[in-house]
Structure 1
Amino acid sequence: MPEAPEVEALALFLRERLTGHAVTGVELVEGRALKTRARPLEEIVGRAVTAVTRHGKHIDLDLEGVHLGLGFGRAGWATWGDEPADDDVPAGSAVIARIAFDHGILGITDAGEWLSVQLHVVDSADEVPAVAKLGPDAADPGFSRDMLATALGRRRKQLKALLQEQETLAGIGNAYSDEILFAARLSPTAHASALTDAEVTRLYDALHDTLATAVAERRGVPIAQQKAAKVAAMKVHGRTGEPCPGCGGVVEDIPGTKGAGQWCPSCQGG
């Protein structure tokens, strides 16, 4: 799943390449991905990109007042090239849509077992339902410790699930929630309501440092290599059975996640 650092890198990539360029043609390969049926993708043809912004794990293309919202979901991503050839699409992915410009083609892909990519043609970014209900952006440099404390509240919800709740904190998914909790040395199954003030501070420092580092490291990485760069940077996520980089113990699957999340029981509270 692309999360805030990868989507931020993609937004920067698209901003640099698309701003000022007009859409010359569109192809919607998978019709189910377009969620605004009354507003076809053809509405953006002939319009130039004036801004590219990230909203959590979503991207908004402003095309002279008409907006194209890109939601990548669990397994969506993008390609960029001179030709719309299927050979450019990562293995296991399917082309969902192609958006042609005078200097290249933006492809939207999905690699999931079920369709997760969503496209919206709207008048403003917040008309996309998933964007409208986003909480504060966890990767925003202005995100503060007080904002995290407010988001956590005194909720009896496990930390891993809460970190991934987009209405609470935007931009964090499965992988970075594991990495943040490992850096904070907090159990993924601990409840937010049980955290002390010192633990909230520790969680904030881990969140800020983990996301800021990832955003900086992903910047400039070719979009086709973003997934590999993310995987290589993980310390515990996806590393079941490997030595913990903190204590030398063994990284294990988080109970109840069916292998989707990982932690170090020795470092993170037994």
Structure 2
Amino acid sequence: MPELPEVAALTDFLDEHLRGAAVTKIQIASVAVLKTADPPFSELEGRAVTGVRRFGKFISMEADGLYFVFHLARAGWVRFTETPTDIQLKMGKGPIAVRLSFSGASGPLGVDLTEAGTKKGLAVYVVRDPHDVPGIAALGPDPFSPGFDVDTLVQILGSSSQQVKGLLRSQSVIAGIGNAYSDEILHAARTSPFATAKSLDRNAVQGLYDAIHGILGTALQDAQGKAPSELKDAKRSHMRVHARTGEACPVCGDTVREVSFADTALQYCPTCQTKGKILADRRTSKFLK
């Protein structure tokens, strides 16, 4: 799943390549992907792109007062081309959910929103204001917004009995962090994924705050300027525990462990994060703190 660093890089890339280009055609190849009906998506055609912005893990493209907003969910991605095809998409066929065609200063441009797998979550909205999208309206603070300081994080954690792993992933609490980077942040902060949020003292919260900015900041810097086709490999290259089950922790050498759930999993290092304790790998277990 693309998270804050990748979505930020995609946003910058699209803003650089599409700003000023006119939308010439939009094809929706999956009825389920379009979450709005008013205004109709066809109203975007003929309008010029005036900017692309990020809201958490949402990308918003403004076109003369209307906004094309999308969320890539777990398996969605962006494909960009300067040599687009005129082939008409077939409904429900293939990985392409939406195709956008543009006329730029140097010629035609194309953007495909694709989604792999059978479990579909990619969502598209055409709205008059990005905050008309429920997911954007409900977002918590961005980790890099001016108001997000350690005192803010102290308040967030101190008022919650939720496990810190789930809290970091909650978009209504902190915007932009998903499964992969929450694993990495908790590893860097030497914090158990199942520690109760309000149990963390000030020093632990400071460590978590520093890890959020350190892990995301490094990933943002590395993703900057990369084309969409390069971002997935860039993300994987940063991971020290996420998706590294069975490998050696690069910090202490212990074996990276995994806890699996119905449709997801987390990874952690026992030595770095749980004082050597192994978290039980079944959903109904009483997890060790």
Tell me the TM-score normalized by structure 1.
Answer: 0.93
Question: Which residue number corresponds to residue 226 of structure 1?
Answer: 231
Instruction: Tell me the CA shift for residue 40 of structure 1.
Output: 2.4
Query: Paired residue for 1:89?
Result: none
Match of 2:246 in 1: 241
After superposition, residues 48-197 of structure 1 pair within 5 angstroms as 48-81=48-81, 82-84=83-85, 94-102=95-103, 103-140=108-145, 143-197=148-202
* In structure 1, C-alpha distance between the alignment counterparts of 2:16 and 2:247, rounded to whole Å: 39
Change (3 A) 1:259 1:240: farther
Taking the aligned partners of 1:140 and 1:183, their CA distance within structure 2 comes to 21
For 1:124, the aligned partner's letter is D
Asked if 2 retains the 8 angstrom alpha-carbon contact of 1:151 and 1:169, the reply is no
2:4 maps to a residue whose letter is A
Counterpart-to-counterpart distance in 2, 1:255 and 1:169: 23
Which one has the largest radius of gyration?
2
Q: Which runs of 5+ in 1 are unaligned?
A: 87-92
CA distance in 2, matches of 1:17, 1:97: 18
What SS does the aligned partner of 2:247 have?
Answer: coil
**Aligned-pair RMSD on alpha carbons?**
1.7
Q: Given residue 225 of structure 1, which amino acid in structure 2 is its aligned partner?
A: E
Relative to structure 1, the CA distance from residue 108 to residue 255 in structure 2 (aligned partners, 3 Å threshold; closer, same or farther) is closer
Counterpart secondary structure, 2:180? helix
Which residue identity lines up with residue 122 of structure 1 in the other structure?
V
Structure 2 stretches lacking a partner, 5+ long: 88-93, 278-289
Secondary structure of 2:265 counterpart: coil
Kindly tell me: are residues 191 and 50 of structure 1, through their superposed partners in 2, closer, same or farther at Cα, counting changes over 3 Å?
Answer: same
| CA deviations over 1:65-104 (Å, ceiling 9, x no partner) | 1111111111111111122489xxxxxx710011100131
**1:157/1:257 CA distance change after superposition, 3 Å:** farther
CA distance, structure 2, for counterparts of residue 257 and residue 266 of structure 1: 26
How far does the alpha carbon of each residue in 1:94-116 deviate from its partner, in whole angstroms, 9 at most, with x for none? 10011100131111111132221
